[in-house]
Every structure is written in structure tokens, then in C-alpha cells.
Amino acid sequence: MKAVDKHAKIIAAATKVFAKKGFFNARISDIAKEAKVADGTIYLYFNNKIDILLSVFEEEIGAIITHTRKLLDEEQDPRKKLEIFIVKHLTAMKKNKYLAEVIQIELRQTTKLVKEYRNSKFNEYINIIAEIIEQGQKQEFFRQDIMPNLAKRTIFGALDEVSRVWNTSLETHYSVDEASCQIIKLFVSGILIDVESSSP
Amino acid sequence: MKAVDKHAKIIAAATKVFAKKGFFNARISDIAKEAKVADGTIYLYFNNKIDILLSVFEEEIGAIITHTRKLLDEEQDPRKKLEIFIVKHLTAMKKNKYLAEVIQIELRQTTKLVKEYRNSKFNEYINIIAEIIEQGQKQEFFRQDIMPNLAKRTIFGALDEVSRVWNTSLETHYSVDEASCQIIKLFVSGILIDVESSSP
Amino acid sequence: MKAVDKHAKIIAAATKVFAKKGFFNARISDIAKEAKVADGTIYLYFNNKIDILLSVFEEEIGAIITHTRKLLDEEQDPRKKLEIFIVKHLTAMKKNKYLAEVIQIELRQTTKLVKEYRNSKFNEYINIIAEIIEQGQKQEFFRQDIMPNLAKRTIFGALDEVSRVWNTSLETHYSVDEASCQIIKLFVSGILIDVESSSP
Amino acid sequence: MKAVDKHAKIIAAATKVFAKKGFFNARISDIAKEAKVADGTIYLYFNNKIDILLSVFEEEIGAIITHTRKLLDEEQDPRKKLEIFIVKHLTAMKKNKYLAEVIQIELRQTTKLVKEYRNSKFNEYINIIAEIIEQGQKQEFFRQDIMPNLAKRTIFGALDEVSRVWNTSLETHYSVDEASCQIIKLFVSGILIDVESSSP
DNA sequence: CATGAATGAGGATTCATTCAT
DNA sequence: CATGAATGAATCCTCATTCAT
């Protein structure tokens, strides 16, 4: 087996274990067992436990960013782009629930664990939303009085919380379509400059 | 000192310590020191570490619920009520950043720590949003095609993420007014049945 | 049991265990078992493993220094003082073989473990030899051409190596008297200004 | 490269690494890196880590023994022989500080690591001192009341401690000449039968 | 009720050694 | 012979929890 494969195997195992147990309750031996390697092997590929978490985060988010950008490049209309982002995010989270957990739960712990870490990938990801909004404002599809940096948080937070529920099984489970549709309705109709309503 | 006072002191200390260090990195002795009691004393008021966390959560959220309900009772218009909820939440989170952290971070850990715990208070809290929406739908201010249970997540998630940023100091700090105004715009204009736009 | 007692018990246990196994092969649990305390208890009194070693060293050497100084104060003649030092050192090492091992073996490891550590107690101890020599030179009992700082090393090294053998059981075991007598002969007759031999 | 060369390279590397870090803190990979071979290669030439240490010791001491004996064979007078031994030892230790460390530090650990090991080379080495003394006693240059086996320890211990300081850089650095001269004075004048003083 | 010294289970990490290539 | 990736046993240290005072 190549080094790349083992690295990937550990990442996958860690994603699963962190999601199931949370970072602190996850033992290195859990990850090792899940990845079918020895405990020590993990330290050939990662510096320490937190390094695994950050790697999981960076790599998985990185893959989503790449894929999302490709989808967005095929579309010009910012209104459609926003829809695509929302659908893509929810789809990705529904598909990889382990990842969803890691992003949601561990994202909030990271700050406490490594002060210097800046979540560059995460910022890159949510800035996609800001870019879409800015483009929409330039093309006068979106209201000028919306602040892109606040709106990106609002939208990401909404998506994040909705997909969180998918993992807790405490409530009615909505399909990706349902959820996307609802969230798009809430946001797009709001963010969109309503031409008709402004006319007399 | 009365038992009630000591209980309150420990809750306050725990809120502060959990917020600063996170649940797992917080030591019982940290909380004891902050509360100016002995380590062992804490176990006279709480069963174990997780019990402190849950108590913090329940009591602090409980206080917010009480206060929020009082504010909402003074208002009839569901559109105004939604605004009140949003402003109240952001104000509370800005005022007590420790609490904000605890709600945001620990909320997501809880599931992993105690399987049987159902976050009753948290559910009670976000169900306030659902109630407002349902009322608004009955009174035909809000669209009928919005699902209250999905919308409550969307709105809470948005508020939560926006207030999370206040504690990370990584970005421009918006005032409560700015943030409330923006979020209300995004949601209310979207959720509101736009009478004008539906007219010919 | 008072804290002082437990501290002392751990020091005694550590001395024994370090002597038997050496610092690196000694496990904290060995020391804990020997001291009849829990592993964790050790960390209430010492910061870490190396701290135990340094404490053992400082405290045991400290006691010897105190006792040696008391003995020396009762004597004026530097020739006698040197004898007293030699006898005292060998007696102490024969009595507490564990300590002898720790001084001899660990003294040499310490430098590698803690760069900043300066063995202040050890230096204080061997400087007693230098002081005796200087006094003897002032009173013209000892040769002026002897360098006290080199001689102190020579004498300590000799004593140290001789007492080392007592713990290895590889060779004929000399009594303290025999060894003292021999070493004194070698050194004192050499260091002493031989009045007769300089006379014609 | 021949096997002999690789063996020698590893010995040289191990000497350096053990001296710098001490036996326990030295990693096999450190030695491998220093010797520019793979970790596994070391196990083609040595059984295990302690075997390397013992080999280093035996081989380096062996070389010194050979050289020392050659020097001594060229001299008949035991008084001169003792001087030669002292100068030779200090010169060797000053030249190869790595070796000095290994002899001094590891000599004392060995007993704890391998019970059955008897340090044959080391004993051979210090027995040279005993032989010189015995010869000196036969030829009536040295006092009869000196016990050669105790004196050999005394002299070796003194030399060892003096050369130890050269590696710690904590004190004034004496030259080999200075140190030899001082130690010879201390011992030889003491061990020598003082003809004049015994005459009436 | 309050204390805080003592406990000891638990886990991240290291590194000597092996063995498939 | 040589390699170095992989192994997994071993251990220091932390900290939630207890209980004698």
C-alpha cells in the first residue's frame, strides 16, 4: 500500500471516529483500529491528535470547495449560484454525515485547542457565499443594503444547523430537496430585489 | 452563605470556565477556584462534570426563555414578535459571551456525552420561533408554504453563527443593531407574504 | 500522615528505586509502590520524574553537607579536616548505598537531562574540599603549588570511584577504615609539605 | 563498502550520539542517521541497542589499552610508567570527548542494564594501574602498605572525574599538562617511598 | 455542610525492533 | 546485504471523583 493510501485511510477513519465520539472522546487507538493500522503508524503521517483533526477538516472541506467551485463556474446567474451552493452544501452533508459532524462540532472546538489556527479552508468556503452575494449586488439582482460578510454567516449558520439535525435523529427528517427548497425560499426571496413590489 | 447562593456561584463559575476552555479542557478545580469553593464542594451540588454542563445550559437558557416570553407577551403582531426574538437573542449573546460560547459549543457536544439527554430547554427555546411562525401563518402574515420546524432551525442557526463570530474576534464586529437589522431584512422580507408583489 | 512525611517517604522510595534500576528504568509506579502511595500522589509533591531525581539529589546531599560541616567545625587542623571529610564521605556512602548509586550514576546523567541545572548542592559539597585545601595552604601545611579546584575533583573522583565498587560486588570489599586509611595515605602524604624531606 | 567499514561507521556514530544524548535519550534512528545507514542496517551488525553500547565501550577502550601498553613497554621505571598512564589517559579523554562521556556515563549504567556483563575490557584497563603499582612495590619504589586494587580505583576515579569536567564546561578548563602535572604530584609524591624522610 | 489530599484509571505518544521488498 | 515503513508494548502524567477530617 502506498503512503498516500494510508494517509487517506487514516483521514477517513478519523472522520468517522471523530464524528461518532467527538474529538475528546475519540481515542487514537479507535482511529487506528478503524483504519486497520497500528497506533504508532498514525504518528508517521500526523504530528498529534489535533493535527489529525485539522487535516480531516482541511482536506474534506478542500474537496467540497473544489467541487462547489466547479459547479458554480458553469452558472452565470448569481440567483442560481446561491441555489446551487445551498443544494450542494446540504447534499454533501447528507451524504457524508461523519464530515457534517466534524465540521459542525469540531469547528467550534478548534479555536480553544489551537489559538493560532485560522481555519483558512473554512473561511475560503464561506467566502464563496459572500462572493456570490457581491456579484448579485453588482448585477442588481440582490439588494444593495445587504452586507455580504454578515449574510454569509447567516446563510452558513442556517445550513449548518439544518444539517446538524440530520445527525441527531431527534426530529422529522427532511429530504435535501425539501430543506433546500425551504431555505432558498426564505433567503432568496428576501435577498432578491423585488422589482414588482418597488413599482407603483 | 445559603446553599442556593453556592449553587448559583458554581453555575456562574462553570459558565465562565467552560466558555474559556471548553468542556473537556475545563478542570473541576478550575471551576472550584473560580467559584472560590473546594473541589469536593462541587460534588455536593452536582453529580458530576457533565451534570454541571447540563445545569449551566438549562438554567441559563431557562432565564432567557422566561425573559423572552415576557417580551413576546407584550406584542401581538407575529412580524414584530419575530423581530423581538431576533433582537433579544443577539442582545443576550452579546451581553453574556460566556453563555454564548456554552450554548454554541457545548450544545453540539452534549449528544455525544449523554445519549439520553434531550435538551428539553433548548427545544423549548427554539420552539418559540416555530410558534411565532405558526401564529403568523394563521394570521396570514407569513407564507403558508414555510415549514415552521425547518424555519426555526434556519433562523436559530443563522443567529447562532452570527453571534459565534463575536467571540472569535476574527472579523469585523457588527453591533447588535446592525446584525439584527440585517438578519430581520433577510428573513422577514422573505417570510412575509408580499401583498404588493402578488397584485397585478 | 503529614505532607512532610509523604514527601520524605517518596524521596526515600525514589532513592531506593533509582539506585536499583537507574533513572530511566525506574517507573513512577515503582516509586509509588515502594512509597505505598498512588501514582498520582507523587505529582502532588513533585512536578515530574526528573524533578524527583533532582530533589533526591539536593536533599540527600544537603543532609550530608550539613552533617559534614558540623564535623569539620569541631576541628581546626586542615590535615585532620581532610581526613574527616574522606572518612565521612565513605561512611555515608557505605551506610546509604542507594544514595551512593544515585549520586554516582545520576550525577552524570543530569547534565544531559536538564541543561539549565547547575548542581548547586553538588558544587557546594565538593567545594568543601577546596576550602580545606586553601586553609591548609594558608597555614602552610599543604603545598602551595596544588590547585584547590583541580585537587577537589581529584579527591572527590577517587572517593566516588572507590565507593562505587561497594555497590557492584565485583571485587574484594574493603572496610570504610581500610579504604579511608589508604586514600588518606595516598593523598595526605602527597599534599602535605614534607618538612623532613626538605631538610638536609 | 565493506562490512568492516560499516561496522566501524556505526560504532563511531554511536559513540558520538551516546555521548551527546546519553544512552537512554539516544535513538537508534539518531545513530543510523549519523552513520548514514538505514535503521534496520544497524541490526545486521548488532543484536540490540545495549549491544551497541557494549561494543562501543569494548572497542574504544580496547584501542586505548593497546596504545597504552605499547607506550608502557618502552619504559622500565614504574614511577615513569604511572606518569605515562596518567598523561595518556587524560590526553585520550581530551582528544575524544565523545569517548570520555561514554566511558564515564555509560560505565555506570551498564551494571543496571546487563546483569551478566563484567566489563572485561574496563577491568583490563584499570588493572594496568594495579600492575604498575605492584611492579613499583617489588622494585621498592612504592610503599608496601598501598593496596594496588584500592589504589587503582583511587587513581582511575581521580582521572575520570577530572576529565568529566572537560565536557561539562562548568569550570575553568585546565590543559592536559596542568592536570597531569597536578595529579602526578598528588599521587606520585604520596605513593613514592620517600627515601630522604625515612633516613635518620 | 465544607474541605482538599489522595486515588488510580485512562490515553497520547515514543521508539526499539521486525520484515517484506 | 540494505532499506525504512510498520508495529505495538510500554509509561508518564492528568484529572474526575472520593472520603476522612
C138-171 pLDDT per residue, tens: 998 888 889 999 999 999 999 999 988 887 666 6
Q: Is A142 helix (H, G, I), strand (E, B) or coil?
A: strand
pLDDT at position B198 is: 42
Using a 7 Å cut-off to protein CB atoms, list the covered nucleotides of chain F: 1-20
Is residue D15 situated within a structural domain? no
Is residue D151 situated within a structural domain? yes
Cell 615513569 belongs to residue: D80
Rounded to a whole number, what is the distance in angstroms from the first to the last CA of chain C?
69
- What integer is the mean pLDDT of B171-192? 81
Rounded to a whole number, what is the distance in angstroms from the first to the last CA of chain B?
70
Is residue C144 situated within a structural domain? yes
pLDDT at position C64 is: 94
Cell of A131: 462572493
Q: How many domains does chain C have?
A: 1
Which residues fall within 8 angstroms of residue B114, CB to CB, at 6 or more apart? B50, B54
- What integer is the mean pLDDT of B9-37? 93
Nearest nucleic acid nucleotide to B29, CA to C1' distance: F15
How far is B84 from B135, CA to CA, in rounded Å?
15
CB B153 within 8 A of CB A158: yes
Is residue C120 situated within a structural domain? yes
Give D142's DSSP letter.
Answer: B
Q: Which residues of D touch C188 (CB under 8 A)?
A: 190
> How far apart, in Å, are the Cα atoms of B179 and each of B130, B176, D110, D125?
21, 5, 71, 84
Residue nearest to nucleotide F12 (CA to C1'): C28
Cβ count near D27 (within 10 Å): 13
By residue range, what is the domain housing residue A81? 53-198
Please return the burial class of A100, using the count of CB atoms within 10 Å of its CB with bins 0-12, 13-18 and 19+: buried
CATH of the domain at C91: 1.10.357.10
Of B121 and B190, which is predicted with more confidence? B121
> How far apart, in Å, are the Cα atoms of D36 and each of C110, D39, D48?
29, 9, 18
pLDDT-derived band at B169, boundaries 50, 70, 90: low
Cell of D180: 597531569
Per-residue pLDDT tens for A167-178? 766 666 788 999
The residue of D108, D120, D156 whose CB has the most chain C CBs within 10 angstroms, and thus the best one to mutate to test that interface, is: D108
Nearest nucleic acid nucleotide to A42, CA to C1' distance: F6
User: Does strand F come within 7 Å of the CB of A40?
Assistant: yes
User: Does strand E come within 7 Å of the CB of C104?
Assistant: no
pLDDT at position D194 is: 47
Q: Which of A53-57, B78-82, D169-173, D174-178 has the lowest mean pLDDT?
A: D169-173
Is residue D167 situated within a structural domain? yes
Of B170 and A128, which is predicted with more confidence? A128
The pLDDT tens digits along chain D (200 residues) read 566 789 999 999 999 999 888 889 999 999 999 999 999 999 999 999 999 998 998 888 899 999 999 999 999 999 999 999 999 999 999 888 888 878 777 677 776 666 666 667 888 999 999 999 999 999 988 888 899 999 999 999 999 999 888 877 666 678 899 999 999 988 887 555 544 444 44
Q: Is D19 helix (H, G, I), strand (E, B) or coil?
A: helix
How far is D188 from D192, CA to CA, in rounded Å?
6
pLDDT-derived band at C198, boundaries 50, 70, 90: very low
CB C18 within 8 A of CB C28: no
pLDDT-derived band at C185, boundaries 50, 70, 90: confident
- What integer is the mean pLDDT of C16-21? 90
User: Does strand E come within 7 Å of the CB of B4?
Assistant: no
Is residue A182 situated within a structural domain? yes
How far is C90 from C180, CA to CA, in rounded Å?
7
Residue nearest to nucleotide F7 (CA to C1'): A38
* Alpha carbon D34 to its chain's center: 24
Assess whether pLDDT exceeds 90 at residue B100: no
Q: Calculate the average pLDDT of chain B.
A: 86
How far is B76 from C59, CA to CA, in rounded Å?
78
How far is A115 from B22, CA to CA, in rounded Å?
13
The one-letter amino acid code at C64 reads: I
Is residue D10 situated within a structural domain? no
Assess whether pLDDT exceeds 60 at residue B193: no
Residue numbers in C 40-59, CB below 7 Å of strand E: 40-41, 43-44
Is residue D153 situated within a structural domain? yes
CA of A117 to C1' of E13 (A): 22
Neighbours of chain D (3+ CB pairs under 8 A): C
Assess whether pLDDT exceeds 60 at residue B97: yes
Q: Do C154 and D183 make contact, defined as CB atoms within 8 angstroms?
A: yes
Find, among D58, A19, A78, the residue nearest to B109 by Cα. A19
pLDDT at position C194 is: 47
